[in-house]
Amino acid sequence: MTTDRQPRATLRAVAEAAGVSTSTASLAFSGKGPVAADTVERVLAAAARLGYTGPDPLASSLRHGRSGVVGVIVEGRLLHAFRDPFAVSVLDGLSQVLDEVPAGMLLIAQHAGSPEKAIPQLAGTALDAVVFSLCGPDDNPAVDHLAARGIPMVGDGSPADERVVQLALDNRAGSAAVSRHLKDLGHHRVAHLMMPLRHDSPTGLATRTALDDAEFADSRDRALGFLDVFDDSSLMAQTSLPDVEQGAAAARLLLDRPPADRPTAVVAQSDLLAMGVVRAADELGLRVPEDLSVTGFDGVELPWFPGTLTTIDQHGEQKGRRLGELLRRLLDGERPQDELQAGDLRIGTTTAAPAQS
């Protein structure tokens, strides 16, 4: 524990100590140009003696014009963003690819209610590229800022902007597929449980008109997919947060009614919401799937859930890796095409034909 108030050793100091020029010392460290073996040794020895731990990343970055950092912009508080296992698996896949680039991931939280507040932070950080993932508002002031700085961006569908390379999921088709599955099973009274449509959405019943001023395209498109199969008069609810808690609260509004009115199935816009429905059903004494079929969206692991949820699998980890690939190509100077992925319908134990009534 020496009180090391002396500034860190620099390459120049090492070069001097080794009796060579800084250029040579630099070459010796990076292993680029041709340097005599014993010179390298002398430099390395001097470095060890002075406690030099390698070139200062900041100086090196400045010269190269690369910081080795990729920004990941997430919506709202980390607590909410990462509560969803889907977000986490995307991030996990992304990190696998970025590890190889190599690049680090810098987390940047941006609240949908005041997206402009993140700009000063963005402006002050050296970023090689940015991923918009799990982050909602469709027009985002950060896009303008980053575009002006010439920083490449990838997104998962939003913000919808041609300057952002998109790896989107066909939300509408996926949602329609799972809805059709229920219809094929014979369900007619089917309710829809939506993720937030806006940053200030309250949990509660909703109608089709709510879609008109949706901020989040995911939620809107999944709702449209549902409405492609079931009609506008279907019971719908939205939530303030896409978590189990709010899912259960909204599900109670959908399910707590006389049997003749009660939906025989609920199409939830995420697996977490679906878990909320299951929980609410449980509280109301409804068995899944005998009394109520439930579907989710995302395809996350739900280890605490006995059984398997019927859902649309988005393959989060794979999606994260794909985002990473796009990023890698962007960093290499390419301009990859937008991509649209399809989700896979995965039938579990939470859906069945409705009871005869």
Partner DNA sequence: GCGAGCGGTCGAATCGATTCGATCGAATCG
Partner DNA sequence: CGATTCGATCGAATCGATTCGACCGCTCGC
Residues that bind a second copy (CB under 8 A): 1, 4, 8, 51, 53-54, 56-62, 65, 67-69, 71, 77-79, 82-83, 85, 88-89, 91-92, 95-96, 99, 102, 104-109, 120-121, 123-126, 145, 148-150, 162-163, 243-245, 248, 275-276, 279, 282-283, 303-306, 317
> What part of residues 225-284 is at the interface with DNA (CB under 7 A)?
none
* Rounded least distance, CB 120 to DNA, Å: 13
DSSP letters along 132-195, please? E-S---SS-HHHHHHHHHT--EEESS-S--TTEEEEEE-HHHHHHHHHHHHHHHT--SEEEEEP
The reply on whether position 35 binds DNA by CB under 7 A is: yes
26 binds DNA per the rule CB under 7 A: yes
CB of 164 to DNA, least distance (A): 24
- Nearest distance from residue 233's CB to DNA, in Å? 58
Minimum distance of DNA from residue 9's CB (angstroms): 8
Tell me the Ramachandran region of residue 342: left when phi exceeds 0, alpha when psi lies from -120 to 50, beta otherwise: beta
Q: Which two tokens stand for residue 170?
A: 């066909």
The DSSP code for 335 is: -
Minimum Å distance from CB 37 to DNA? 7
Residue 10 in the binding site for DNA (CB under 7 A): yes
Q: Are strands 311-313 and 236-238 parallel, antiparallel or unpaired?
A: unpaired
Nearer Cβ to a second copy, position 145 or 180? 145
- Say if residues 103 and 70 touch (Cβ distance below 8 Å): yes
- Output 121 or 341, the one with its CB closest to a second copy: 121
Nearest to 194 by CA among 266, 92, 261: 266
Q: Please identify, among the stretches 57-65, 84-92, 133-141, 336-344, the one whose residues bind DNA according to the rule CB under 7 A.
A: 57-65
From CA 202, how far away is CA 347, in angstroms rounded?
A: 31
27: partner contacted, choices DNA, a second copy, none (Cβ within 5-8 A by kind)? DNA
Q: Please check whether residue 28 is in contact with residue 40, taking contact to mean a CB–CB distance below 8 angstroms.
A: yes
Amino acid, res. 305: F
Contact of residue 125 among DNA, a second copy, none (CB under 5-8 Å per partner type): a second copy
* Distance of alpha carbon 329 from alpha carbon 326, whole angstroms: 5
The residue within the footprint of DNA, chosen from 16, 44, 50, 56 (CB under 7 A), is: 56
Instruction: Using the rule CB under 7 A, give the single segment among 29-37, 179-187, 220-228, 307-315 that binds DNA.
Output: 29-37
Residues 117 and 133: their CA atoms lie apart, in Å, by 18
Helices 271-283 + 85-100 axis angle, to 10: 160
Which residues would be at the binding site for DNA (CB under 7 A)?
Answer: 7-8, 10-12, 19-24, 26-27, 29-30, 32-37, 39, 52, 55-56, 58-60, 62-65
